[in-house]
Amino acid sequence: MTALGAPGLPEREIRARARNGTAEVFPDPATYGTRLYGPGPTAVVDDLDRARIVPPVFMPQRLEKLIDLAREPEFTDVDLGSRTGGFTTRLPLYLSAFGSTRAGSGDLAVHASRQAARLGIPMVIGENMIPVHGYRRAGDATRSALLARVEAYLDAAPDGVGGVVVQQSTEDADSEVWNLLYSDPAFRPLLESGRLAFELKTGQGAKPGLGGMTVVDRAEAELLARRFTVSDVLDPAGERRLRCATPGTFTDEILRQQLRFMRNNFPKARTWVKFHPGRDIAHAARTAWSAGADAVTVDGAEGGTGWAPGVFLDHVGLPLAECLRRIGRPDGCLLATGGMWEGGRAVRALALGATAVGLGRAALVAVDEDPEHGLERLVDSIALELRLLVSALGKYTVAALGPEDLWWPDGRPSHADRTADAPPRAVADPAGATP
């Protein structure tokens, strides 16, 4: 059979599926916990990286700044401070969720929490931490993985800045995660200072339409089988199994009711919502804002994950730029994640309407490089690029950025004036800027 060819077909991949079956749907499970996953070379290129940042010749905002300062303004005069989801932050950045994987619940996550606190940026703690690892209060002999991250953040956070955001999935809801945290004395300092938020997670950025997935060994699978679906699709011997969480079911009214429940039952906590990059993202975001959400997080398809089927990483969901263009001018705080690691990409997302951008895979890589200061140095480099770029545009706050600051090589971004749930509208800027 080795003489047979498969013209036009990926013969090596086909033969691998013939040998290994369902295991080939996923990355090699032996790499789980030691690497991060994202879109491969066949994925759609995000337009966010195609756009050029285009300063104008005439800069009236620079003149205003000159008059205020009584001198020529410099890039150091750019104010990167922000209000992010109800929190005061020093930078338009936040630490994205890591979830219940080893990276999200182990020493790397604790180091990342401490550095995020010192930077004065919010930290999001991902789903399924308590269903997978359990919950033990501060007085118990062994600390909860979630509580260890919160304590590290609180120990290092300056007064009045930053905040902690705790996600909830369907399994978290069954475990009454938000009730546990809201009543725990360890969270009182966050509540009293207005720096606690709960984030309703309606989908996985790396797996739109699916829930969370984790690789577990046989012993752990037996412990988790009552709470999760556990499947033997990764290897015939069943030594490595796939633990699957459900994504939950949402409609407009279900989302509104859930947000009403959150506001009524946890009045001292901020309310965030996270969406996967679905085709109706504009309608979903506006539904959340109209129901009182303090922030809406959009996770582009180029975002990373601890574990996902390859076909989802490469072929499912909208790229971040398209999500931002469909939303257009946001009705509230809009947070964007997906492939953020340098200032240029961050500025483009901010110009398209984001209030702040999240650091996920980049943050973990930086902390892995230097557990004590890697994230801080990464953020320092991004902050410098942000100040240089915003200043070059003749602006001195992040909120002043707009779509007029971007240009696409083909004259206009795809679908710039169209959403999946609205008729075409006029485009005000002939260079392709969304009105």
Q: Which of 190, 184, 202 is nearest to 164 (CA)?
A: 190
| Domain shared by 85 and 193, yes or no | yes
* The predicted structure's pLDDT at residue 263: 95
Asked if pLDDT for residue 196 goes beyond 90, the answer is: yes
Asked if pLDDT for residue 414 goes beyond 50, the answer is: no
| Domain shared by 296 and 234, yes or no | no
In this structure, is residue 70 part of a structural domain?
A: no
* The predicted structure's pLDDT at residue 292: 96
Domain containing 189 equals 47-55+80-203+250-407
Residues 369-392 pLDDT 10s: 999 999 999 999 999 999 999 999
* The predicted structure's pLDDT at residue 278: 94
In this structure, is residue 359 part of a structural domain?
A: yes
The model's pTM is: 0.86
* Range 261-277 average pLDDT: 95
Which CATH number belongs to the domain containing residue 155 in this structure? 3.20.20.70
Asked if pLDDT for residue 136 goes beyond 90, the answer is: no
| Domain shared by 364 and 258, yes or no | yes
| Domain shared by 177 and 218, yes or no | no
* The predicted structure's pLDDT at residue 215: 86
| Domain shared by 197 and 283, yes or no | yes
User: In the predicted model, what is the mean pLDDT of the chain?
Assistant: 85
| Domain shared by 229 and 112, yes or no | no
422 versus 190: the higher-pLDDT residue is 190
* Range 329-339 average pLDDT: 94
Name the percent of the chain lying above pLDDT 70: 87
* The predicted structure's pLDDT at residue 143: 63
| Domain shared by 176 and 294, yes or no | yes
Asked if pLDDT for residue 153 goes beyond 80, the answer is: yes
Name the percent of the chain lying above pLDDT 90: 54
Asked if pLDDT for residue 348 goes beyond 60, the answer is: yes
pLDDT band at 412 (very low <50, low <70, confident <90, very high): low
* Range 123-146 average pLDDT: 72
* The predicted structure's pLDDT at residue 186: 87
Residues 208-254 pLDDT 10s: 888 888 888 888 888 878 778 888 888 777 788 888 878 888 999 99
- If one counts the domains in the chain, the total is 2
In this structure, is residue 434 part of a structural domain?
A: no
Asked if pLDDT for residue 109 goes beyond 50, the answer is: yes
* Range 48-70 average pLDDT: 96
* The predicted structure's pLDDT at residue 248: 83
| Domain shared by 240 and 257, yes or no | no
Asked if pLDDT for residue 416 goes beyond 60, the answer is: no
pLDDT band at 125 (very low <50, low <70, confident <90, very high): very high
| Domain shared by 227 and 275, yes or no | no
Which of 92-106, 213-227, 338-352 reaches the highest mean pLDDT? Answer: 338-352
240 versus 346: the higher-pLDDT residue is 346
